[in-house]
């Protein structure tokens, strides 16, 4: 399933929270900020049982469970009423039960980036294109904007990694497709260099894409900048893979 499909239940946690439940929008009826966090936590952890202590720590980090048991019970009760019978299963431990065809944006991003990387590994550039964009569409938006908690920070770190992987897959797809997609490879390569200057994949794509557009001198300058950066920051030289791209430029 991709974000392009239309499941009867759709949950968006990156960017504005959106809950489409059997064609009805429910996010505006969530029980406040804590209700939004409780729902998001249950969605992310829906493949395991979440204890009440887990839920307290997710909503009120560092607070003792007994001190806020009443508040938690009220939130769970309101969420059960909103979502309908049987959706939140359990008492001492809870699990959210979504329909089989439910679409959750962060899960779609994980599947899409894996699919994009698999197609890149096979050299199927056009098949990698769409999934890489699906992953980027999700990962470039902030997870639960305005909310702060350790589990939220962890999810943001995971999505940041998905974003970089999706950018790498998208750049490889654009480079492999060539032709009118080369400018896209250059843009994505520059974006990778800016975001992770010590990660060589962006430089490799950028060098190759510039060379294919006939800008050999600029491609060589990209290599020179990388070599200086790695020497000054880490005391190392570019990897053999990057060196191989450089050698190809010298013989172009």
E-strand stretches of 114-219: none
pLDDT reported for residue 3: 43
pLDDT reported for residue 252: 74
**How would you class 172 by CB atoms within 10 Å of its CB: exposed for 0-12, middle for 13-18, buried for 19 or more?**
buried
In angstroms, the CA 196 to CA 177 distance is 24
pLDDT reported for residue 1: 41
Asked if residues 98 and 21 have their Cβ atoms less than 8 Å apart, the reply is no
HSE-CB of 27 using CA atoms within 13 angstroms: 14
| pTM: predicted TM-score of the whole model, two decimal places | 0.88
Q: Which two tokens stand for residue 78?
A: 């309101």
In angstroms, the CA 117 to CA 190 distance is 20
pLDDT reported for residue 26: 95
In angstroms, the CA 116 to CA 240 distance is 25
pLDDT reported for residue 67: 59
pLDDT reported for residue 23: 84
pLDDT in tens, the chain (252 residues): 444 445 579 999 999 999 998 889 999 999 999 999 999 999 999 999 999 999 999 999 877 666 578 889 999 999 999 999 989 998 889 999 998 888 999 999 999 999 999 999 999 999 999 999 999 999 999 999 999 999 999 999 999 999 999 999 999 999 999 999 999 999 999 999 999 999 999 999 999 999 999 999 999 999 999 999 999 999 999 999 999 999 999 987
Residue 18 bridge partners (DSSP): 12
**Residue 73: count of CB within 10 angstroms of its CB:** 11
pLDDT reported for residue 212: 94
């Amino acid at each position: 399933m991709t974000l392009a499909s239309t499941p009867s239940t759709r949950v968006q946690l990156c960017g504005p929270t959106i809950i489409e439940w059997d064609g009805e929008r429910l996010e505006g009826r969530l029980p406040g900020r804590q209700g939004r966090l409780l729902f998001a936590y249950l969605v992310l952890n829906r493949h395991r049982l979440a204890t009440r202590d887990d839920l307290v720590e997710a909503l009120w980090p560092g607070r003792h469970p007994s001190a806020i048991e009443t508040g938690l019970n009220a939130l769970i009760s309101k969420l059960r009423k909103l979502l309908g019978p049987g959706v939140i299963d359990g008492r001492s431990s809870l699990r959210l039960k979504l329909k089989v065809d439910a679409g959750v944006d962060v899960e779609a991003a994980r599947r899409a980036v894996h699919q994009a990387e698999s197609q890149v590994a096979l050299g199927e550039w056009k098949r990698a294109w769409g999934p890489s964009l699906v992953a980027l569409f999700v990962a470039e938006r902030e997870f639960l904007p305005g909310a702060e908690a350790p589990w939220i920070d962890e999810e943001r770190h995971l999505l940041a990694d998905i974003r970089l992987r999706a950018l790498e897959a998208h750049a490889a797809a654009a480079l492999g497709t060539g032709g009118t997609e080369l400018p896209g490879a250059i843009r994505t390569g520059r974006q990778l260099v800016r975001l992770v200057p010590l990660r060589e994949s962006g430089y490799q794509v950028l060098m190759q894409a510039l060379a294919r557009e006939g800008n050999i001198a600029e491609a060589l300058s990209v290599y020179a900048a990388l070599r200086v950066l790695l020497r000054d920051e880490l005391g190392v030289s570019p990897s053999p893979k990057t060196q191989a791209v450089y050698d190809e430029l010298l013989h172009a």
